[in-house]
Chains A and B, each alone.
Chain A
Amino acid sequence: MLRFILSRLVMALPTIVLVSVTVFALIRFIPGDPAALMLGDMAQPAQIAEMRTELGLDKSMPQQFFIWAGNVLQGDFGKSIVNDEPVLPLVVSRFAVSAQIVLVAVLLASLIAVPAGVIAAWRQNSLTDLALVGTATVLLSIPTFWLGLLLLLFFGLKLGWLPVLGYVSIGSNVVGGLLYLVLPIMTLVIHEAGVLIRMARASTLEVLRLDYITHARAKGLSESAVIWRHAFKNAFGPTWTMIGLILGNLLGGIAVIETVFTIPGLGRLMVDSIFARDYPVIQGCLLFVALSYVLVNLFVDLLYPLFDPRVVAE
C-alpha cells in the first residue's frame, strides 16, 4: 500500500515538471515583446533594453526557466502587467470563487447521477433505462453557456426569483451569496449529471454481466444486496476517475459560466488577461489550474484502491 502511494506520488513528479515547462514555453511563444508591451507605445529602445534586463529576458531560455521555476517554488508568480498586483494572491482568491462552484456542482451531480446510472443499468432496456439514458444524452448535448442563459432568462428575468447579474461573496453575506451561486451550480449539475449517468450506467453494465454477480444471486442475495453490495463498488471505479476528470475540466472551462453569470472567478480572470495580454497572469492561471488538475487526478488515483484493490498489486 505504501509502495503504491509512493509510486503514484513519484509518477506525478515528471508530469508536474513537464506541465511547468509547457506553461513556460507557451508564454514564451506568444508573439510580441513583453518588455515593450509593459512600457507602452512611447517607450524608447534603451528603456526597452533596460526593461528586458530587469525582466531577465536577455538570458538564455533554460536560465529563464530555472529563474522562473525557482520563483514559482517560492510562491512568487510575478506581477500583473496591468495593475502591478502580485499574481499568486490574485489567482488564489479567484480560484476560491471558481472552486466552490465546481466542487458543489460535481458533488451534487454525482449524488444524483451515479444512483440513476446504476438503476438504469440494473433495469437495462426497460422504459426507465431508456428514459434515463435519453435524458442524459440530451442534457450532455446542451452547451453550458446556453443552458446558463436559458436558466437566467427563466428564473432571473421571467420569474425574478434569483439575482441576474453580479456576485456577492459567501463570506460577506451567506444568504445573498448563496442566491448568486444557485444558477451557475444548477447549470453545471444538469450538464454533468448527463455525462455521469451514462458513465455510471456503462460501467455498471460491464460489471453486471460478470460471474460474481451471478454467484451473488445464486447465493440467494436480494437484488438490492447484489446491486449495491457487489456491483456498485466494482462499477464505481471508472466513474470515480471520470469525476476527477470532470472536476479538472470544469476548473479549466468555467470561464464561460463565469461570463454568463458575471462571476469574478479564475476563468474570467484568465480570459480578461488574454485580452489585456497580461502574460504573468495568464501564466499564473494556466499553471495553477494545470497543477490543481494534476493534484485532483492524483487524489482520485490514490483513492482508487478503495473500489478496486487489484490496482495496488500491479
Chain B
Amino acid sequence: MTTDTLLSVRGLSLEVARTGHKVVNDISFDIASGEIFGIVGESGSGKTLATRALISLLPPAIRVASGSISYRGRDVLGLNAKQLRSLRGAEIGLVFQEPMTSLNPSMFIGRQLEEGLILHTKLSPEERGARILDMLRRVGISDPEGALVAYPHEFSGGMRQRIMLASVMLLKPALLIADEPTTALDAVIQRDVMELMVELTRAEGTAVLLISHDLPMVARYTSRIVVMEKGSIVEHGRTEDLLEAPQHPYTKKLLSSLPFRGAPRVVDMTKAPMVSVRNVVVDYPGRKSLFRKAKAKRALHGVSIDIHEGEVVALVGGSGSGKTTLGRTIAGLVKENEGEIRFQGRARDDDWQDYRMNCQMVFQDPYSSLDPRMTILALVEEALRLVPNLDAAAKRKRSLETLEEVGLDASYASRYPHELSGGQRQRVAIARAIARRPRFLIADEPVSALDVTVRAQVLDLFSDLQKRYGFSCLFISHDLGVVEQVADRVVVMQDGRIIEEGDRNAIFDSPKETYTRRLLSAIPALDHNATGGVTLKWRFES
C-alpha cells in the first residue's frame, strides 16, 4: 500500500445556514492513494453530508462553517466552480445508495456514460464507445451493445447499481466515494456488487471512501475506519484494532448491538403444531391489458410450514422469494388459491373471530403502519376494541400497561406517531400487536427499518415479551444476523418455494443448499471478547 496522502480533511464543521446549528463537528481524517477507507455511523450521524462536502455538493441549506479539505495538496474549498467541475467525476467519483433514482430515467444509458468521457477526456467517439462497452462488460452487463440504447428502467436494481459503478469508474477517478452503495440491494446481490467494486477499484488503483451504517460490511473491505456519532468522529483507527479493542463507548455500543447467536431454547415439538400451513398456493393476477391476456404469476408454489406453541420460526429469503406473501397469506391479508391453514387444530376459515383475536401482526415500516391521525393511546386501544368482556376502563388500563411494557410511559399516550422516533413507533406497533395477548404473532421485517443500536433494543424487547407471554412467532426477515439471534427454527425460501428448513444452529452451521450458503456468506459470525470487541469471521469465503 502506498502511503502518499490523497485527501486530507482537517477540522471540518458544517452547519445549517439559517440557524447555525452544527451538523458535522470538527472532523479530520486522511485517505491514502489506493486504500479503502470506511466511515460508519447511524442515521443522523452526518456521514453523508461530510462526504458531500468533499466535492462541494452540499444541499443549499447546509454550508461549511470551518475547516479545510485538501485533495492532492489543493484546497478544495477554495476552488472556483470551473476547477471544482474538473475535479468532480474525473478525480473523485460518487456512487449512491438508491439505484432506482440515481440514473436519469429519460436518457439512454450509453449517453449517460458518454457524458463524463466527453467532458473529461479527449477521446474520439470510437474510443469512447470502445471504453464504454469494455466497462459495461467488466461490470457484468450481459448485452453491452443493447444496454447503450436502453433506459435505466429496463434493468433491475442490482444491474442499475452496476451501471452506476461503470459510469463512475469509466473516468478512472483517484477516489471513489461510495455512500451506502449496497443498502438498497438484496443480501446476495450486495456481496456481488461490493466484490465488483473492490475488484474494479483495485485494478485502477482507485481509493475508496466507503460510507455505511453496516459496520461488519465496512470492516470486511476497509483497512481503516472512522466511527461517527451525531456529527463528530468518536473513534478512528485500523479496522482490526477498532473491532477487537474499541475505545469509545459508542463504538462498543455499536459492536454490542450487532446481532449474536442467542442460547438455544427448548420448544416442545411433540405436541400438535399451533399453526399448520398445508400446500398453500397463491397466484397474483397478471396485469390485464387489451393486448395481453392476464397471466397469473404464481407467488407461492404449494408451501407447507408448521409453527409450534412458543416457537419462533424465521422465514428468510431474498426479495421475490415469497416470504412476505406467505406471511400475509397466513395473516389473511392475501387469499390463498389452494391449500389449507389450520390454527389450534381447526381450519382458520371456520372461526375468523377467534383467529383475529389470537393472531396479530407487526409490520416492517413503522412510518406507515400507524395511522398518523391517531394518538398513541388510541392506536393501542383500538386493538382492544373487539375484545369481549373488557369494559372501557379496563381497556384503557390494559393499553397503558402495554405501552409501559414496551418502554413508553404515560407521557407518550397523547402524542402522535410523527412526534416519535422510528424505534419508538415500532414499540407502539408491538404494543398494539400484543395488547390482545395473541397466541401467535406474525412479524414482517419488524426491525429492518431501524438503526443498528435501536434494532438491538427492539429485538431485546421482542425477546422479553416473547418469554413473558410465550406466543408463537413467524419472524420474516432478509437479515440473517437478526434471525440468528431470535429464531428457534429457520425456513429458507426461494422463488415461492421452501428450499431448506431446520433447527437454527443446523442451518447456520451446516446449510445444505447453495442459496442458503450464499445468504449466510453476507453476514459474519461474531466472537465477542472480554474488552467489548469482536472478531468477525466470514462464512464460506470463496
Residues of A that sit less than 8 Å from B by CB: 3, 6-7, 10-11, 124-125, 210-212, 214-223, 229-230, 233-234, 307-310, 313
Chain A residue nearest in CB terms to B99: A211
Contact of B107 among A3, A217, A230, A313 (CB under 8 A): A230
Task: Indicate if the CB atoms of B96 and A211 lie closer than 8 Å.
Answer: yes
Knowing that A3-B291, A215-B96, A219-B167 touch, tell me 11 more A-B residue pairs with CB under 8 angstroms.
Answer: A210-B101, A215-B103, A216-B115, A217-B57, A217-B88, A218-B94, A220-B86, A220-B90, A221-B85, A310-B105, A310-B153
What string of 1s and 0s marks CB contacts (under 8 Å) between B84-118 and chain A?
01111110111010100111111100000001100
Contact of B115 among A211, A221, A308 (CB under 8 A): A221
Task: Indicate if the CB atoms of B116 and A307 lie closer than 8 Å.
Answer: no
Give Cα distance in the complex from A217 to B153, angstroms. Answer: 21
Q: List 14 A-B contacts (CB under 8 A).
A: A10-B290, A211-B102, A214-B57, A214-B94, A218-B89, A218-B92, A219-B115, A220-B87, A220-B119, A223-B81, A229-B107, A233-B107, A234-B105, A307-B106
Minimum CB–CB distance from A4 to chain B (whole Å) comes to: 10
Task: Indicate if the CB atoms of B291 and A6 lie closer than 8 Å.
Answer: yes
Give Cα distance in the complex from A233 to B105, angstroms. Answer: 10
Task: List A contacts of B151 (CB < 8 A).
Answer: 309-310
Task: Indicate if the CB atoms of A212 and B115 lie closer than 8 Å.
Answer: no
Task: List A contacts of B104 (CB < 8 A).
Answer: 212, 216, 230, 234
Chain A residue nearest in CB terms to B86: A220
Task: List B contacts of A313 (CB < 8 A).
Answer: 153-154
Q: Does B289 contact A (CB under 8 A)?
A: yes
Task: Indicate if the CB atoms of B88 and A220 lie closer than 8 Å.
Answer: yes
Minimum CB–CB distance from A307 to chain B (whole Å) comes to: 6
Q: Does B275 contact A (CB under 8 A)?
A: no
Task: Indicate if the CB atoms of B105 and A219 lie closer than 8 Å.
Answer: no
Give Cα distance in the complex from A211 to B59, angstroms. Answer: 12
Give Cα distance in the complex from A264 to B227, angstroms. Answer: 75
Minimum CB–CB distance from A111 to chain B (whole Å) comes to: 21
Minimum CB–CB distance from B305 to chain A (whole Å) comes to: 35
Contact of B85 among A220, A233, A309 (CB under 8 A): A220
Give Cα distance in the complex from A29 to B93, angstroms. Answer: 68
The 10 A-B residue pairs with the shortest CB-CB distance, nearest first, are A220-B89, A218-B94, A220-B88, A219-B89, A211-B102, A220-B85, A211-B101, A212-B104, A219-B116, A309-B151
Give Cα distance in the complex from A212 to B103, angstroms. Answer: 5
Give Cα distance in the complex from A172 to B336, angstroms. Answer: 73
Give Cα distance in the complex from A234 to B102, angstroms. Answer: 13
Task: List B contacts of A216 (CB < 8 A).
Answer: 104, 115
Contact of B105 among A7, A222, A308 (CB under 8 A): A308
Task: List A contacts of B81 (CB < 8 A).
Answer: 223
Q: A309-B151, A310-B151 are in contact. Are A212 and B89 (CB under 8 A)?
A: no
Task: List B contacts of A234 (CB < 8 A).
Answer: 104-106
Most buried by B among A10, A125, A217, A220: A220
Task: List A contacts of B120 (CB < 8 A).
Answer: 220
What string of 1s and 0s marks CB contacts (under 8 Å) between B44-73 and chain A?
000000000001010010000000000000
Give Cα distance in the complex from A159 to B290, angstroms. Answer: 60
Give Cα distance in the complex from A310 to B150, angstroms. Answer: 11
Residues of B that sit less than 8 Å from A by CB: 55, 57, 60, 81, 85-90, 92-94, 96, 98, 101-107, 115-116, 119-120, 151, 153-154, 164, 167, 171, 289-291
Task: List B contacts of A218 (CB < 8 A).
Answer: 55, 57, 88-89, 92-94
Give Cα distance in the complex from A230 to B115, angstroms. Answer: 11
Minimum CB–CB distance from B47 to chain A (whole Å) comes to: 16
Task: List A contacts of B291 (CB < 8 A).
Answer: 3, 6-7
Task: List B contacts of A219 (CB < 8 A).
Answer: 88-89, 115-116, 119, 167, 171
Most buried by A among B87, B106, B289, B290: B106
Task: Indicate if the CB atoms of B60 and A215 lie closer than 8 Å.
Answer: no
Minimum CB–CB distance from B358 to chain A (whole Å) comes to: 41
Minimum CB–CB distance from A15 to chain B (whole Å) comes to: 14
Minimum CB–CB distance from B42 to chain A (whole Å) comes to: 21
Task: List B contacts of A212 (CB < 8 A).
Answer: 101-105
Give Cα distance in the complex from A219 to B177, angstroms. Answer: 12
Minimum CB–CB distance from B215 to chain A (whole Å) comes to: 24
Task: Indicate if the CB atoms of B105 and A309 lie closer than 8 Å.
Answer: yes
Task: List A contacts of B86 (CB < 8 A).
Answer: 220
Task: List B contacts of A220 (CB < 8 A).
Answer: 85-90, 116, 119-120
Minimum CB–CB distance from B322 to chain A (whole Å) comes to: 24
Give Cα distance in the complex from A210 to B171, angstroms. Answer: 22
Give Cα distance in the complex from A218 to B90, angstroms. Answer: 9
Give Cα distance in the complex from A66 to B90, angstroms. Answer: 69
Minimum CB–CB distance from A217 to chain B (whole Å) comes to: 6
Minimum CB–CB distance from B384 to chain A (whole Å) comes to: 42
Task: List A contacts of B103 (CB < 8 A).
Answer: 212, 215
Q: A3-B291, A218-B94, A221-B115 are in contact. Are A308 and B57 (CB under 8 A)?
A: no
Task: List A contacts of B98 (CB < 8 A).
Answer: 211
Minimum CB–CB distance from A14 to chain B (whole Å) comes to: 11
Minimum CB–CB distance from A158 to chain B (whole Å) comes to: 45
Task: Indicate if the CB atoms of B94 and A215 lie closer than 8 Å.
Answer: yes
Give Cα distance in the complex from A214 to B151, angstroms. Answer: 19
Task: List A contacts of B89 (CB < 8 A).
Answer: 218-221
Minimum CB–CB distance from B313 to chain A (whole Å) comes to: 38
Minimum CB–CB distance from A300 to chain B (whole Å) comes to: 16
Minimum CB–CB distance from B359 to chain A (whole Å) comes to: 36
Most buried by B among A215, A221, A307, A313: A215
Give Cα distance in the complex from A234 to B103, angstroms. Answer: 12
Chain B residue nearest in CB terms to A209: B59
Task: List A contacts of B171 (CB < 8 A).
Answer: 219
Task: List B contacts of A230 (CB < 8 A).
Answer: 104, 107
Give Cα distance in the complex from A309 to B103, angstroms. Answer: 13
Chain B residue nearest in CB terms to A210: B101
Chain A residue nearest in CB terms to B150: A309
Task: List B contacts of A310 (CB < 8 A).
Answer: 105, 151, 153
Task: List A contacts of B93 (CB < 8 A).
Answer: 218
Give Cα distance in the complex from A7 to B104, angstroms. Answer: 26
Minimum CB–CB distance from B450 to chain A (whole Å) comes to: 23
Q: A7-B289, A219-B116, A309-B151 are in contact. Are A214 and B85 (CB under 8 A)?
A: no
Task: List B contacts of A223 (CB < 8 A).
Answer: 81
Give Cα distance in the complex from A11 to B289, angstroms. Answer: 10
Chain B residue nearest in CB terms to A125: B60
Task: List A contacts of B290 (CB < 8 A).
Answer: 6-7, 10-11
Minimum CB–CB distance from A210 to chain B (whole Å) comes to: 5
Task: List B contacts of A221 (CB < 8 A).
Answer: 85, 89, 115, 119
Q: A220-B87, A310-B105 are in contact. Are A214 and B153 (CB under 8 A)?
A: no
Task: List B contacts of A6 (CB < 8 A).
Answer: 290-291
Chain B residue nearest in CB terms to A313: B153
